[in-house]
Chains A and B, each alone.
Chain A
Amino acid sequence: MHRYRFLLLRPLQLIPVLFGISAISFVLVRAIPGDPARVLLGTRSTPEALARIHAEYGLDQPLPMQYLLFLKHLFDGELGRSIIYKTDTLTLLLERLEPTAMFILGSVLLSVLLALPLATWAARSRGGVADHVIRLLTTAGLGLPPFWLGIMLIILLSITWRLFPVSGYGDSLGEKLYHLFIPCLTAALSLSAVLTRSLRSALIREMRADYFVAALARGQSERYIFWRHVMPNAIVPIINLLAVNVSWLIGGSVVIESVFGIPGLGQLLIKAIFSRDYMVVQGVVLFFALSTVLVNLLADILTVFIDPRIKL
């Protein structure tokens, strides 16, 4: 079972990464000029009131002290209190988690649903008309910036055809999916270009592999060999690409949620930055970092389970 020893060891390697990220986010958010207490009090800010809030949230302490305090909270499993929302940051995070998770999951799923048939079709008709058309489409997909794509989709699907809402979220699951469709499609279209190309070339490489001829020589049909032998081999390297895509989506959620008015973590982060809500900014950044690292770890684990040759 030594192949799976990394399951225990890898998470340990994450600790220094998270330390680094927490320090960077701590410094960066404080490097922006401004004061959360001033934002909170607005016109009511008097020197005494400011000092009171500073004392309440430990902002009067020297910076290294504040950082140690932040770490101490972390070890207690707390992310500190939001100055603006006046609640625990963790509670805030969990509240906003669902829309972001749904958006990311939906985008990944849609991108796979787009890329899988396109890549399969292109690979199996390599050099043919379909292959060229798909290459053209993916080139276009690579060239179009996601925000432009998003605006076009809104204009077309929401404003002209009135098929989907322009922005917002919803209450029931159906409503949520309905609202998330255009944001997910925007992200998926951008992601599927690279995904289609990578999968296509992986498929073509595997179709040239010796085991393909060997299986043909045993009387298997090309169709069977394609799905049973070629596809799993081609998917192994793609799993890591999917993880990279999720990382991209985590970062992208900041922009996309703001554009489409989705009340998720990305939106929370933007608002927290504008109001200098230090604890929330640190919390969300740390959470994003942790998710990114975990998703990539998950991809590594999956790869190891599929491909017995890989050792970590």
Chain B
Amino acid sequence: MSPLLTVDSLTITTRAGLNLVDQVSFSLAPGEMLGLVGESGSGKTLTCRALLQLLPEGALQITGGRVDFDGRDLLRLSPREMRQLRGAGVGMIFQNPSTHINPLMTIGQQMAESLRLRGRLSRKEIRARSVSLLEQVGIPSPEQRLDSHAHEFSGGMRQRAMIAIALACSPRVLIADEPTTALDVTVQAQILKLLDGLRREHGLSIIMITHDLGVVAQTCDRVAVLYGGRICEIAATADLLKHPAHPYTRGLIACQPHANVNAQGPLTTIAGAPPTAEEMPAGCRFHPRCPDAQRRCQTRQPVVHDVAQESGHRVACHYPLQRLIHRELDHE
């Protein structure tokens, strides 16, 4: 299927000239759920905000790349066109619903304002549509909850309410920025199931930002792993978890408490801390923490290339694990 959204070499630069996001490319097919994984500060949020041109004004700038959505380059839309695209073309939900929902307005009012923006509807129609949206996200007794404020919901219900508010715009792509990080595990699973259902039943495409590979394993079709603002690996979920090609991905998998693959022995961590924007290492940005780093990794930036062409498994590493394994197998 041809992709609905294609991000090509997106680069986001600070005023000081540091590339916080560097040549990031990925694509999203209709009805697909793509995981965007990486440690804190790896540029997941910035990448997605850039799609909607919601970067902090003045401080950060998109200095390169294309974002193709439905045949249009999102980086070249007029402010007016961008406004029409936000919400309806690409919607967004956030980690912290209690601050992302206006505390003074009811959930119903905040859905109504989106519905009104996109069509002349009577009060009755708006109410009916809002009730069905709350039903869709699994909020019990939606008629009454319509008039509730965010603080009257529990954490999980509040996240559902925020999803309903986003759905009121009828998005085709939904960016979910760590939607479950603040929730406890059982509620987390329910929200993931809800998002998965929306995708299956309504063909919604979802970009799932998370730093939890467990979340990815449960829901995503494909995963892109970000490190220091660059893509280091992108592959189908099962492929990536079973045959990680990048040492960083392997490290991430080993860090998972419930790692179902490759996990023998005690829980490990990746030594060292992720680089800050001011101190990006030359060459491969992961090399100071990489157990397999060689001379070349310190000076030359690896390009993203295919590991297995037919499955779309791509990696940015001079010494990808998969090839090494294949070679070792060949020797035997």
The interface of chain A, by Cβ under 8 A from chain B, is 209-211, 213-221, 228-229, 232-233, 236, 306-309
B101 touches A213 (CB 8 A): no
Query: Could you pull out 14 A-B pairs where Cβ atoms are within 8 angstroms?
Result: A209-B99, A211-B101, A214-B94, A214-B101, A216-B54, A217-B54, A217-B86, A218-B87, A219-B84, A219-B88, A219-B114, A228-B113, A308-B104, A309-B103
Q: Mark B113-135, 1 if CB is under 8 A from A, else 0.
A: 11001000000000000000000
Q: Mark B157-178, 1 if CB is under 8 A from A, else 0.
A: 0000010011011000000000
B100 touches A219 (CB 8 A): no
B104 touches A307 (CB 8 A): yes
| Most A Cβ at <10 Å: residue of B85, B92, B100, B151 | B100
- Beyond A217-B87, A218-B87, A228-B113, is A308–B100 a contact (Cβ under 8 Å)? no
Minimum CB–CB distance for A223 against chain B, Å: 11
Minimum CB–CB distance for A155 against chain B, Å: 45
Residue numbers in B under 8 Å from A232 (CB-CB): 104
Tell me, in angstroms, the Cα distance from A9 to B9 when the chains sit together.
63
Closest to B102 in A: A211
Minimum CB–CB distance for A222 against chain B, Å: 9
Closest to B117 in A: A219
Tell me, in angstroms, the Cα distance from A174 to B165 when the chains sit together.
51
Question: B103 contacts which of A217, A221, A228, A307 (Cβ < 8 Å)?
Answer: A307
Residue numbers in A under 8 Å from B86 (CB-CB): 216-219
Q: Mark B80-114, 1 if CB is under 8 A from A, else 0.
A: 00011111100110101001111111000000011
B104 touches A233 (CB 8 A): yes
B103 touches A210 (CB 8 A): no
B28 on the interface (CB 8 Å rule)?
no
Q: How many residues of chain B get a CB closer than 8 Å to chain A's CBs?
A: 30
Minimum CB–CB distance for B180 against chain A, Å: 17
Question: A218 contacts which of B91, B96, B105, B152 (Cβ < 8 Å)?
Answer: B91
- Beyond A213-B54, A217-B52, A219-B86, is A308–B151 a contact (Cβ under 8 Å)? yes
Minimum CB–CB distance for A37 against chain B, Å: 59
Closest to A308 in B: B149
Q: List 5 tightest A-B contacts by C-beta distance, closest first.
A: A219-B87, A218-B87, A210-B99, A219-B86, A214-B100
Tell me, in angstroms, the Cα distance from A150 to B102 when the chains sit together.
42
Tell me, in angstroms, the Cα distance from A151 to B140 when the chains sit together.
65
Residue numbers in B under 8 Å from A209 (CB-CB): 99
Residue numbers in B under 8 Å from A236 (CB-CB): 104
Closest to A215 in B: B102
A221 touches B83 (CB 8 A): yes
Residue numbers in B under 8 Å from A308 (CB-CB): 103-104, 149, 151-152
Tell me, in angstroms, the Cα distance from A217 to B53 when the chains sit together.
9
Tell me, in angstroms, the Cα distance from A215 to B168 when the chains sit together.
12
Tell me, in angstroms, the Cα distance from A70 to B7 when the chains sit together.
81
Tell me, in angstroms, the Cα distance from A220 to B86 when the chains sit together.
8
Question: B100 contacts which of A211, A228, A233, A306 (Cβ < 8 Å)?
Answer: A211
A233 touches B54 (CB 8 A): no
Residue numbers in B under 8 Å from A217 (CB-CB): 52, 54, 86-87, 91-92, 166
B88 touches A210 (CB 8 A): no
Residue numbers in A under 8 Å from B92 (CB-CB): 214, 217
Minimum CB–CB distance for A203 against chain B, Å: 14
Minimum CB–CB distance for B136 against chain A, Å: 17
Closest to B58 in A: A127
B149 touches A309 (CB 8 A): yes
- Beyond A209-B99, A211-B101, A211-B102, is A220–B117 a contact (Cβ under 8 Å)? yes
Tell me, in angstroms, the Cα distance from A218 to B105 when the chains sit together.
15
Tell me, in angstroms, the Cα distance from A218 to B87 when the chains sit together.
4
A229 touches B102 (CB 8 A): yes
Tell me, in angstroms, the Cα distance from A147 to B101 when the chains sit together.
46
Closest to B114 in A: A218
A211 touches B99 (CB 8 A): yes
Minimum CB–CB distance for A236 against chain B, Å: 8
| Most B Cβ at <10 Å: residue of A217, A228, A233, A308 | A217
A219 touches B104 (CB 8 A): no
Minimum CB–CB distance for B118 against chain A, Å: 8
